[in-house]
């Protein structure tokens, strides 16, 4: 059973701001997260955020540039929903 995904306003805005192809990549990874969150995530180590968040990170190469993403989320009280707090993105430039 896959979890439902609920995006915070902050995560929704980040998703809208991405280049369309990268937006599609993030959506694909959100579906992967919903299928098996315990397999693909780890406890978040970002000290500026409230405790209790999980992190799911992945890389994607587009036009020879490395894009790194991290999705911060929590399990909702209903135990059927993943609440996505933030989607982080860094373009590291040349992948080679």
- For 77-86, what is the mean pLDDT? 94
Neighbour count for residue 63 (Cβ, 10 Å): 8
- For 49-64, what is the mean pLDDT? 87
- pLDDT over 70 at 66, yes or no: yes
pLDDT of residue 49: 61
pTM above 0.85, yes or no: yes
How remote is the C-alpha of 23 from its chain's centroid? 11
Backbone angles phi, psi at 82, to 5 degrees: -105, 120
Residue range 9-51, pLDDT digits in tens = 999 999 999 999 999 999 999 999 999 998 898 878 766 666 7
% residues pLDDT > 90 (the chain):
76
User: Which alpha helices (H) appear in 36-77, and where do they start and end?
Assistant: 37-40
Do 82 and 6 form a contact (C-beta atoms < 8 A)?
Answer: yes
Neighbour count for residue 67 (Cβ, 10 Å): 21
**Structural domains of the chain sorted by starting position, each given as residue range(s) with its CATH number in brackets:** 4-89 (3.30.2310.20)
pLDDT of residue 72: 94
């Amino acid at each position: 059973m896959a979890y439902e995904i609920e995006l915070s306003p902050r995560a929704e805005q980040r998703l809208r701001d991405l280049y369309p192809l990268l937006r599609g990549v993030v959506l694909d990874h959100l579906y992967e997260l919903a299928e098996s969150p315990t397999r693909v995530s780890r406890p978040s180590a970002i000290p500026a955020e409230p405790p209790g968040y999980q992190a799911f990170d992945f890389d994607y190469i587009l036009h020879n540039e490395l894009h790194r993403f991290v999705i911060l989320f929590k399990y909702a009280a209903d135990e059927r929903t993943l609440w996505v707090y933030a989607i982080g993105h860094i373009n590291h430039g040349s992948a080679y």
